[in-house]
Amino acid sequence: MIRSDIIRGHLDSIILRLILEKDQYGYEISKQISSRTKNRFQIKEATLYAVFQRLEKKELIESYLGNISHGGKRKYYRITTLGKAYLQETFKEWQETKEIVDLFMEGLE
């Protein structure tokens, strides 16, 4: 299991990346995070919704109610144009961060 504090700083980008693929609702996103990481990383519901609030406040995503399913309307999230630009920026930052950390971690077993 990976320490969650290592990933915490990248949650916004991870969630934006998933929403970029298609509009999604919270539970769907948490399931994708678990399955794509083969359960090595799981996001708590409270954390996920805090990220949604933060991203919506910054206008990087917007929410809307989907069709009725299982007795209620699901809240879906879509990425905005601003969100796409922000994601590109964080991708460049990530590439650089990875290169720098790799410089110091190379050769360790």
Tens-digit pLDDT profile for residues 77-92: 999 999 999 999 999 9
The amino acid sitting at 66 is: G
Summarised one tens digit per residue, pLDDT across range 8-18 is: 888 999 999 99
Altogether, the residues listed in the chain come to a count of 109
pLDDT for 25: 94
pLDDT for 1: 59
CA gap 32, 34 in Å, rounded: 5
Q: How many other β-carbons are positioned within 10 Å of the β-carbon of residue 102?
A: 9
- State which residues of the chain have pLDDT below 50: none
Helix axis angle, 11-21 relative to 81-105, nearest 10°? Answer: 130
Is 87 in a helix, a strand, or coil?
helix
Strand partners, 61: 79
For the whole model, what pTM was predicted? 0.86
Domains of the chain, start order: 4-105 (1.10.10.10)
CA gap 45, 48 in Å, rounded: 5
CA gap 109, 42 in Å, rounded: 26
